[in-house]
Structure 1
Amino acid sequence: MAAERRWTKNRRLPLITAGVLVSLVVASGSVTTEPADASPRPDPTPTTGSGPVPWWPDGAADPSPAAADPVAASDPPAPEPSVSGSQDPVPSATPSGTPSGTPTESPSPSGSPTQEPGANAPKYPAFGAYLDYGPRGVTRMAQLSQWLGGADLRVGHTYLPGDRWSNIEGADSFLDSWAEWRKERDDRLFVLNVPMLERNEEGVPDAEVRKLLQQGAQGDFDRHYRALAENLVDLDVPDTVVVLGWEMNGTTYTHRCGPDPESWKKYWKRIVTVMRSVPGQKFRFDFTPSRGRDAVPWTDCYPGDDVVDIVGMDSYDQPENKSFDEQVSEPYGLQAQVDFAAEHKKPISYPEWGLFRNGDNAEYMKRMLDWMDEHKPLYNTLTDYCPHGVWQCDKNPKASEVYRTALTGRDRPTDQPTEPTVPTEPTGPTEPTAPPECSPVNLGDWIEHWLGGKLCLRFDWWKPRS
């Protein structure tokens, strides 16, 4: 404070003199002030990502309707599972805090909630599509969003290769681009399918699968899932949705449940416990069978509420000639999934869905979209390659039109155009110009700031005015 008072005392006389001079000149009507910055404000530049996002000044409340009623949700902490087995004892840990993939609000200085650009509370459940394993999948999300009129694809979905354990650990740089995409916005979800065994698509016989499941239940493979969890936390995506051992009720994958359901459930518990033991994690585990009974009822494989956060379902348009109503009502079908999840107080999801045995089936596409709008899964991701897809596959034009019509502009901020606008060239000069017959006077930055611009003095002020 002493320094500030000294500055004022030393400069008081010049300021008084300048003030008197300015007052006299202004009173004579021979002065104008020029704005400090007369150049036009540039249009907001669209950010990179899946679609246009709203822009507003720092500290101002989001003017969009969605911001008036922000929605915040969090999953309850999952109890620690009890794991049997003699090898590699696992420390206990449970998720804590709200996953960063869930939109949250924070009070502004004035007491009203504010949101960062792109954090509008969504009207619909989060959706996306599987487009490719690696970086091309991230790039194509922005392209798919553009095809859908700027729709907000908030779910990124990929798979860890199941050929060998080193890939299941998520090593090297395989997940880097997905992690960067996820971190660009707090309301995004990163969904990662994780195999439970290596050689996952090599047709391993039941007897060997049974032995491998028993080894897993005893802790033989714990280190691989600890490494995966550590890699995800190190990549700053600790809230990844892990679709572990998907379609376990079928026969396609080595990590199938049928050869030994009890060992499979113990092994699932073991993996979840290991991954939850890593400091900083907030993982959510998605139990995702294929629709219908398949090789075994998927309920026989359910490992327990303490180690499952989401009840998913992969639901393609199959078998041939099966109507959507039958897909809903069949044993272990869509309605059974919804009822089971409600009974166990879990959200639902659809990590994989799309066209299949019935070709370009517009009716299936419409009904599946309607089903998800009605039952509001936590997320859904269309499998977008032939024969399942609608954007990267040109064999399904009718279903493609249904999908595009239904989702065009979905969750796109209402205060932004569908396509990013290009700033127009100004029609007039962008630099401030002096009024005729006056000359700018340099009084220093401080006085010009106080005046609101430069002082422009008319030297012909003594002449009579007409």
Structure 2
Amino acid sequence: MNSRRWLSFGLVPSIGLGVVAALLASALTGAGPATAVTPEVPSKQSGMPWASGAFMPDYVPAAQVSFGKERGVRSDVAVVYAGRTDWDAVSNPTWLWRQWKSAPQTLVISSAPFPETGNWSLAACARGSYDEYWKDFGRSAAASGMAGRTVVRLAWEFNGTWVAWAAYRPADFVGCWRNIFTAAESQAPKLRWDWTVNRGIGDALSDATRAWPGKKYVDFVGIDTYDGYPAVTTKAGWNKQLNGNQGLRFWADFARRKGKRLSVPEWGLYPGYAWKGNGGGDNANYMTKMFSFFRSVGGNLAYEAYFNDTDPAHAGALSLNPKARAEYRKQVKAAVRRASR
């Protein structure tokens, strides 16, 4: 196991005494270290037991600062989405790396395996047809200096029907993932990779484990989950989210069995019109239950990011849901207190 994989589990390869001295001086004076050390990904500045952050509609570091102020502790992780209109948007998201280069957050880039428009497919990707584009992605990441602070959330929610890369044929998905990983890593070996499912039985792939690329090709096992289908307004609703078929506990256990840390790159309220009748509204109980889940995962939780969206279709932003916002802030503060003991 090389040092790149050590970092995925929160361990740090051995460093020289000079670097240790520089880090100690930095801690005492607030100055930057004289020698750069590759940070653990995701890095933590929030004071919480796990790395914690958000998706914010404004793809700028200032939005993460605002989110930190709203909840009372800093943001560790910024979830963003690369473009999907053409290959340049997919394979060269240089604007994102430029935007976030000076920010402290780990950048989680949700990346499509190929453009959403055009005659592209998982089958062609599995044959290696897109490898050169992904080598370009790796070269761009390496040139940006951000590869060591970037998690690639490739082909997220592949078990659903709403994505162009729906894994109806899981063998094609696996082949595609492995080719992309290999091509990008040949240029930027510091990148991390998050294999993210959508909670529950998928309409495109009922057993998402069939699309597992293998331990060699994945750093984090991710799950996207929201307060709906069913809403966490009853004990039964939470039990289904937690213990139902391919629910939260299933994926936490799966990650542990595979020797990987769990991530929750998208989670949050869903009171918007898109899920009318199926979301929980301004639901403080959802916040309480999700934090109980985070605590149960313990040290195997790599990061989580609240989906703080103001779009009326979703409307999960904390600012739009005052009861849930108060409970979220309460849970964050409690998590910081536990971490400091």
Q: Shorter-chain TM-score category? A: 0.7 to 0.9
Which residue of structure 2 lines up, in the alignment, with residue 169 of structure 1? Answer: 91
2:6 touches 2:12 (CA, 8 Å); kept in 1?
A: no
**Which structure has greater helix proportion?**
2
| 1:335 equivalenced with 2:249 (yes/no) | yes
1:263 is matched with: 172
Q: Does 1:326 align with 2:240?
A: yes
- 2:330 matched residue in structure 1: 405
CA-atom RMSD in angstroms: 3.1
Across the two proteins, how many residue pairs are aligned to each other? 302
Percent same amino acid at aligned positions? 25
1:361 matched to which residue of 2? Answer: 283
Indicate the residue corresponding to 2:275 in structure 1: none
State whether residues 81 and 109 of structure 2, in contact with CA within 8 Å, keep that contact through their aligned partners in structure 1. Answer: yes
Q: Pick the aligned partner of 2:194 from 276, 279, 286.
A: 286
Instruction: Pick one of 308, 318, 333 that aligns with 1:384.
Output: 308
Q: Partners in 1 of 2:223 and 2:166 — Cα distance?
A: 15
Going from structure 1 to structure 2, the CA distance change for 1:320 and 1:231 (only over 3 Å counts) comes to same
Greater shift after overlay, 103-112 or 113-122? 103-112
Residues 208-287 of structure 1: pairs in structure 2 closer than 5 A? 212-239=121-148, 240-258=150-168, 260-278=169-187, 280-287=188-195
Amino acid at match of 1:255: W
- For structure 1, the 5+ residue unaligned runs are 1-75, 79-94, 183-187, 416-466
Which residue of the partner structure matches residue 114 of structure 2?
Answer: 197
Query: Structure 1 residue 231: deviation in Å?
Result: 0.9
**Pairwise mapping of residues 441-452 of structure 1 onto structure 2 (< 5 A)?**
none
Report how far residue 262 of structure 1 moved.
Answer: 0.7
- Higher RCO (CA-CA < 8 Å; seq separation 6+): 1
Amino acid at match of 2:144: L
TM-score (norm 2): 0.79
Distance 1:170 1:102, change over 3 A: farther
Deviations 1:309-361 (A, max 9, x none): 11110011121446112101111111110111111111000000001212111
Shift of the alpha carbon at 1:121?
9.7
Partner of 1:14: none
Alpha-carbon distance in structure 1 between the residues aligned to 2:112 and 2:89: 10
2:225 is equivalent to residue 315 of structure 1: yes
Rounded to whole Å, the distance in 1 between the matches of 2:109 and 2:89 is: 13
| Higher gyration radius (CA) | 1
CA distance in 2, matches of 1:110, 1:238: 23
Mapped pair 1:148 → 2:71: yes
Q: Structure 1 runs of 4+ off > 4 angstroms? A: 95-99, 101-113, 118-123, 408-412
Q: Please list every run of 5 or more consecutive structure 2 residues that lacks an aligned counterpart in the other structure.
A: 33-43, 271-278
Per-residue CA deviations over 1:76-113 (Å, capped at 9, x if unaligned) read: 449xxxxxxxxxxxxxxxx47747x9888875799897
- Residue 158 of structure 1: how far off its partner (Å): 0.9
Distance 1:146 1:329 in 2: 34
Q: Secondary structure at the match of 1:328?
A: helix
State how far apart, in whole Å, the 1-side matches of 2:89 and 2:20 are: 50
2: CA distance between counterparts of 1:165 and 1:133?
Answer: 23
CA–CA distance in structure 2, aligned partners of residues 318 and 123 of structure 1: 26
Q: 1:248–1:255: 8 Å Cα contact kept in structure 2?
A: yes
Contact in 1 for aligned 2:46/2:74 (Cα 8 Å): no
Return the letter of the residue paired with 1:375: V
The alpha carbon displacement at 1:298 in A equals 1.1
Choose which of 59, 65, 71 in structure 2 pairs with 1:134: 59
